[in-house]
Amino acid sequence: MRIRLQGTPRRPVRRPVAIASDCQTARVPPELLAFCGVAAILVITPGPDMALVARNALVSGRSAVPATTLGICAGILVHALAASIGLSALLRASGTAYAVVKLLGGAYLVWLGVQAWRASMRNGGPGAVDDAGADWMLGPARRFEGGSAFRQGFVSNVLNPKLIVFFVSVLPGFASGGASFFAQVLVLTAAFEALTLAWLLSYGVAVARAGEAMRAARVKKALERVTGTVLVALGLRIASDGAADL
């Protein structure tokens, strides 16, 4: 039994107080999550970007992967900017202009594929396993510089009709009416860029590592021809679609 002396103030009893924090856990908007799911499917779907990254990774090694990927990401920025100011919608509305873009994109991929075949024929004879053949995966490529890889990735992506359709028809559907359209396009594009960067870098490095065990001249020539054939096939398909739209 506790005895309290008279005049001694009663000590207040402290009770646990639920602190209502204004800084609640930030929630990712559902539109952004849904967009990331759709964008991830598009990013990992085989197409010109993956074919180009694989070709450069196999021919020039992992040193060409970052430059090619950054070129592709720079092309995505062009699509986002065009979509935000309405150029992509205008291009999509014009059947002739859209068909011309398809033809140009297909022709560029065919040209890259032909270049790969020509490179395979320029390499040494059947038994050539010289220093160049032994070093084809090491360091900067002797005939394939970073600027060239960046340029190829950029041009291939800008002329990719699939991305024009995506940024005109799909991306605006995930923009709500709460904020400015340009700001929302910027956020969605940043998410798309991050997915593209992560996937293509991982994919390119994996392809390059698989190719490091294939240093023989014959294997190198075969890889160049296979990837060149894939690029030509993709280019012909895109160009044929564009010709049919004219």
**Which of the four pLDDT bands, split at 50, 70 and 90, describes residue 130?**
very low
Question: What value does the mean pLDDT take over residues 210-236?
Answer: 74
Question: What value does the mean pLDDT take over residues 15-30?
Answer: 53
**Which of the four pLDDT bands, split at 50, 70 and 90, describes residue 184?**
confident
Cα dihedral angle (30, 35, 41, 47), rounded to 10 degrees?
Answer: -170
* pLDDT > 70? residue 22: no
The pLDDT tens digits for 65-83 are 999 999 999 999 999 888 7
**Which of the four pLDDT bands, split at 50, 70 and 90, describes residue 118?**
confident
Integer-rounded Cα Rg, in Å, for the chain is: 27
% of the chain at pLDDT higher than 90:
19
* pLDDT > 70? residue 29: yes
Q: What is the pLDDT of residue 138?
A: 32
Side-chain-side CA neighbours of residue 30 (13 Å)? 0
